[in-house]
Amino acid sequence: MNQPLKIAVAGLGTVGGGTLKLLRKHAALLEHRCGRAIVVSAVSARDREKDRGVPVDGIRWFDDPLAMAADADVDVVVELIGGEDGIAKELCEAAIANAKHVVTANKALIAHHGTALAHSAEAAGVTLAYEAAVAGGIPIVKTLCEGLAANSLSRVYGILNGTCNFILTAMRESGREFAEVLAEARALGYAEADPSLDVDGVDTAHKLAILASLAFGCEINFAAVHIEGIRHVTLMDIRFAEELGYHIKLLGIAGVTGEGVEQRVHPCMVPLSAPIAHVEGVFNAVVADGDFVDTIMQEGRGSGAGPTASAVVADLVDIARRRNVPTFAVPAKDLKRLPAVPMERHRGAYYIRLMVLDRPGVFADVAAALRDHDVSMESVLQRGRAPGEAVPVVMTIHETEEAAMQGALREIGALEAVVEAPRMIRIESF
């Protein structure tokens, strides 16, 4: 009879508690599917007395997770503490040094230290698995590593943060502004007390950096990700987007070109003809473009105890089955160091909204600034007249280089008749 796989769980918060519940509920099912049992042999958390909704009686408790990583009765360390550095990083390093497999849901850790950890894990002959770090219950890591292994991938993109997607969906459906919907997201538990990592795009950027490495076989380069959040998106922009045939989504987009890898996170105008435009609420979705499969999309819940625990346990199942796939789809020693394509070199179409004083000559000044930077308008929308008052003017711009667009916006923003900073959202042609 096969020996059970003995795991140690560090961190018993939402995901840790959910993982213990799943392992307990489906113990027989998992043993049947793996050919051996998955047993929780040890746990570690800050508070022994906290009620987590799942019993830990009879499971060895470690106050020091590093000591747990060295325990002889542990095969796998499950890191659910969080944070890019500190004890989470030390725990993973200690586990690998002690020849333990590591499963983590920590996207910040993998985005910042994944390449180094992959080298260490592969040298030690153990697995470093992180399905739960990207898009919750969507099995995108396995898809890129295995399901699409026969394809050369040119682009991967997606809605990677449920908080932002909930906010943008609720703004559009309820007609409320960002601040009000953010307060609702906090009340519902979709947003943290400090939502900066979510709404400023950093959480999405962590996940995108991981996806880019998986898709393109390159070292993770989080520092090269261009990051913008959704704080500047207004209800007015959402209404104009609908009129133009778009929904606004915060996307992480990575593509490989002859110049290197482009990685960017920012709000996008997504055409209603694109399936990802209709992914709403707290749901995530990931799209990959391959040379043989063409385009595939996976959609599901991107966070929460259940979906994330499902992804954690999926990694444990692979380890229990003795399946060993390179951390980033190719051996760590073969990961390429591809150059980063700076955002200034990005080419695309743009939505621009100006608040300008309604008086003669203003539009001519705006058009002159665009002309001076070799930027061409596609269409213009202006609603109503209010002589002497500020009115919105919306333009869509033909494909141009980011540097030219930014130069034109700086010149336009300096015009005396432009009373607010110009609002710019990139248009994607999916």
| 3-state class (DSSP) for residue 308 | helix
Q: Which of 89, 100, 207, 249 is catalytic?
A: 207
Query: Is 107 in the active site?
Result: no
DSSP label at 339?
Answer: P
What gap in Å lies between CA 165 and CA 297, rounded to an integer?
17
Q: What is the DSSP letter of 358?
A: B
CA distances, 11 to each of 180, 192, 256 (Å): 33, 18, 37
| Cα 417 to Cα 405: distance, rounded to the nearest angstrom | 19
**Cα(36)–Cα(23) distance, integer angstroms:** 13
Helical axes 305-320 vs 27-34, angle rounded to 10°:
30
**How many whole angstroms separate alpha carbon 253 and alpha carbon 157?**
4
C-alpha–C-alpha distance, residues 37 and 124, integer Å = 24
Residue 391 sits at φ, ψ, to 5 deg, of -135, 150
Backbone CA torsion sign across 166, 170, 176, 180: negative
Name the β-bridge partners of 267: 250
Contact 287, 276 (CB under 8 A): yes
Q: How far apart are CA 71 and CA 7, in angstroms?
A: 11
Tokens representing residue 255 in the block: 């593509």
Place of tokens 């709404």: 199
- What gap in Å lies between CA 161 and CA 202, rounded to an integer? 10
Report the run of H or E that residue 278 belongs to, with start and end.
Answer: none
Q: How far is CA 317 from the centre of its chain?
A: 24
Question: Which among 123, 142, 74 is positioned nearest to 314, based on CA atoms?
Answer: 142
List Cα–Cα distances, 256 to 153, 228, 264, 275, 351, in angstroms.
8, 20, 12, 22, 24
Helix (H/G/I), strand (E/B), else coil: 30: helix
Residues marked active site are found at: 207
